[in-house]
Structure 1
Amino acid sequence: MKEMDHDEALQLFTQHAFKSDKPIDDFEDLKEDALHYAGGLPLTLKVVGSNLYGENRKYWKSALEKYKRIPEENIQEKLKISYDGLDDFTKKIFLDIACFFKGDEKEYVTKILGGCGFFPDDGIKKLIDKCLITIGEYDRLMMHDLLEDMGKEIVRQDSPEEPGKRSRLYFHEDVHEVLEKDKGTKHIEGILINLPWGHRKIRLGSEVFAKLERLKILIVRRCDESFCGRLNYLSNELRVLDWPNCSLEFLPTSFHGEKLIVFDISGSNIRDLGRGLQSKASIFIFNIMSICLTFKNLTNIDFRDCGDLTNISDLSSCSNLEKLILYGCKSLVEIHDSVGFLDKLVELRWKDVPA
């Protein structure tokens, strides 16, 4: 990584530490120490400067003492000081972006994190102000690779030797180890399954998720999985169930999914989502190859290319639904009239649907 010369570094640091082209006189004696500890890398200059912005001399001296104790080459530890100063909700937002949502649209992530109770409007603003994330093209949440690595290392340090006791799983070898050998625990709140091309099939038992009571995020990007029998448990804490091409024909009957915000099982073999998804206020005739949804928090539903679905039942209780994708559901013969009365629905796709 190329370092900046002194004048360039001073200009960049000043822009972030003082939101000005010139340092405040009262901090003239401290700025050179700050420059020295930040080093000449643009990322550290931005993050260190943003961490000091708006603070008094006492805070500067305390923070600079921390930077002083970090070896010059340990960039990650310098960056982590900014993370350590965040509140708990904002820390969780940072870690979720690092592990799961880097590159996703801000609005999409905000809905999910809001559903988790993390106050994302406030938290994302703080992360931007601290230069820990940026907003990229098409309003996507972006993060420097070094900051992504830092976030993932923070998660790894939760339990260096036992991945099943970490809050988030994202590295394919850890995911494979924990799921195939049933080493999951209640500590896991999010999983990304993204196995490399050519990776061997992952064999999952019917109780693979039974211990994951607090699981909020399940994202499957690439996975050649096979199940030994029927899946018996999914956490009702799930906010994201993003599992395209899922090999399951049925979801667990105990899965209610009332907290789901994003539901994507496109291209799957799903035939029946289980009685747990039926309305508690009404009784529906539940066809073996139909789906009956009553998720008040859902904003996105993607059933594209689910070839065994025949019926989309009453969606009137999905009052926040914005996107419903059904194209390629070649067995679909009935879509309930309630779809036409969803006030917030802005995207409906149903190409190649017999209904």
Structure 2
Amino acid sequence: MHDSLQEMGRQIVLREFPDEPGWCSRLWFREDANHVLSKNTGTEAIEGIVLHPSDPGVQVHANAKSFSKMVKLRYLKISNVRLYNGLEDLPNSLRILKWTGYPLTYFPSHFNPEKLLELKMCHSCIKHFRMGTKPLHNLKTIKLSHSLNLVSTPNFKGMPNLEVLILEGCTRLFEVDPSIQVLERPTLLNLKDGKNLAHLPSSVGCLKSLKVLNLFGCSRISNVECLEKLDVSGTAISEPPSKLYLLKNRYIEFIYLFIYF
């Protein structure tokens, strides 16, 4: 039923401007997206672009100015788009940004998405998370899993409402910014397989709302603080932390060792 309704919606949108996809409110088909992004025919009418990675359609190409006219774009979900000549613009109107395989090491310098709620850019080439100059008070989720160039987390001062940070498989990550202490309601911090991460800021243990910290495979980590659930498999931690009794669920997991209280 869901697929049928989705297909019906696509057909309705396509009837709006069958020969000019740049004037459609949404783009679903790779052929249309490729036409719009490669020829810079996007307009302020476009509010969403959704391209599924499993779609066997044509390769999508983009260039530096592909998004410059899409001033009302709110939802962008694309993957492995070939990008030529860098990227000058991303719309500041974005609420959801999902770009698997983002090919650049940086965000456009004028990208200030103040209303951004969710950013997921797995397998990206991002090296340093630096995004504009304005605070991101609405941002709830950052997922940069398997971004192999990433060496540090963002400065969290401009995103105090961040709840979920997933950096699994970021093997070059060596630093968690001390500003993580400003987060007001974090619930999940996933640093799995952060092989170059040697320590965590002590303030991580003071994040009252943090429920889950995943340090599996962080072989250089040797200190942790109290949490509800703590996965320290594959770390250098050899015994339960002294404040284990403060764990609300009193559960800690080690490789080949399970201790229950």
TM-score (norm 1): 0.51
1:203 equivalent in structure 2: 61
Could you tell me how far apart the structure 2 residues matched to 1:195 and 1:301 are?
Answer: 20
Q: Secondary structure at the match of 2:106?
A: coil
2:147 equivalent in structure 1: 306
2:184 equivalent in structure 1: 343
1:261 equivalent in structure 2: 117
Return the match for 1:175 from 14, 19, 33.
33
Q: Secondary structure at the match of 1:250?
A: coil
Aligned length: 196
The answer to whether 1:245 aligns with 2:101 is yes
1:158 equivalent in structure 2: 16
2:244 equivalent in structure 1: none
Q: Secondary structure at the match of 1:329?
A: coil
What does the per-residue CA deviation read over 1:58-102, in whole Å, with 9 as the maximum and x for residues that have no partner? xxxxxxxxxxxxxxxxxxxxxxxxxxxxxxxxxxxxxxxxxxxxx
Query: Alignment identity in percent?
Result: 33
Map residues 81-96 of structure 1 onto 2, 5 A cutoff: none
Contact 1:252 1:273 in 2 (8 A): no
Name the aligned partner's letter for residue 64 of structure 2: S
Contact 1:230 1:250 in 2 (8 A): no
Could you tell me how far apart the structure 1 residues matched to 2:180 and 2:92 are?
Answer: 25
Could you tell me how far apart the structure 1 residues matched to 2:72 and 2:183 are?
Answer: 30
Please state how far the C-alpha of 1:350 moved relative to its aligned partner.
0.4
The answer to whether 1:318 aligns with 2:151 is no
Please state how far the C-alpha of 1:257 moved relative to its aligned partner.
1.8
TM-score (norm 2): 0.68
Map residues 218-229 of structure 1 onto 2, 5 A cutoff: 218-220=76-78, 223-229=79-85
The answer to whether 1:277 aligns with 2:132 is yes
The answer to whether 1:215 aligns with 2:70 is no
Contact 2:30 2:57 in 1 (8 A): no
Could you tell me how far apart the structure 1 residues matched to 2:53 and 2:62 are?
Answer: 14
Could you tell me how far apart the structure 1 residues matched to 2:42 and 2:86 are?
Answer: 18
Contact 1:165 1:188 in 2 (8 A): yes
CA-based RMSD: 2.1
Larger Rg: 1
Contact 1:249 1:271 in 2 (8 A): yes
The answer to whether 1:187 aligns with 2:45 is yes
Task: Indicate how the Cα distance of structure 1 residues 299 and 250 shifts in structure 2: closer, same or farther if over 3 A, else same.
Answer: same
Structure 2 regions of 5+ residues with no counterpart?
198-261
Moved over 4 A (4+): 195-200
Name the aligned partner's letter for residue 226 of structure 1: R
Could you tell me how far apart the structure 1 residues matched to 2:11 and 2:119 are?
Answer: 29
What does the per-residue CA deviation read over 1:303-341, in whole Å, with 9 as the maximum and x for residues that have no partner? 111122222243133222111001221221111223245
Could you tell me how far apart the structure 1 residues matched to 2:39 and 2:86 are?
Answer: 17
1:65 equivalent in structure 2: none
Please state how far the C-alpha of 1:164 moved relative to its aligned partner.
0.9
Return the match for 2:137 from 290, 296, 299.
296
Task: Indicate how the Cα distance of structure 1 residues 169 and 313 shifts in structure 2: closer, same or farther if over 3 A, else same.
Answer: closer
Task: Indicate how the Cα distance of structure 1 residues 164 and 326 shifts in structure 2: closer, same or farther if over 3 A, else same.
Answer: same
Could you tell me how far apart the structure 1 residues matched to 2:20 and 2:54 are?
Answer: 22
Please state how far the C-alpha of 1:156 moved relative to its aligned partner.
1.7
Could you tell me how far apart the structure 2 residues matched to 1:195 and 1:237 are?
Answer: 24
- Answer 1 or 2: which has greater strand percent: 2
1:76 equivalent in structure 2: none
Name the aligned partner's letter for residue 328 of structure 1: G
Q: Secondary structure at the match of 2:51?
A: strand
Could you tell me how far apart the structure 2 residues matched to 1:344 and 1:297 are?
Answer: 12
Please state how far the C-alpha of 1:200 moved relative to its aligned partner.
4.5
Could you tell me how far apart the structure 1 residues matched to 2:157 and 2:80 are?
Answer: 35
Contact 1:253 1:273 in 2 (8 A): no
Contact 2:127 2:152 in 1 (8 A): no
Structure 1 regions of 5+ residues with no counterpart?
1-142, 280-293
Could you tell me how far apart the structure 1 residues matched to 2:192 and 2:41 are?
Answer: 42
Please state how far the C-alpha of 1:197 moved relative to its aligned partner.
5.8
Could you tell me how far apart the structure 2 residues matched to 1:168 and 1:145 are?
Answer: 16
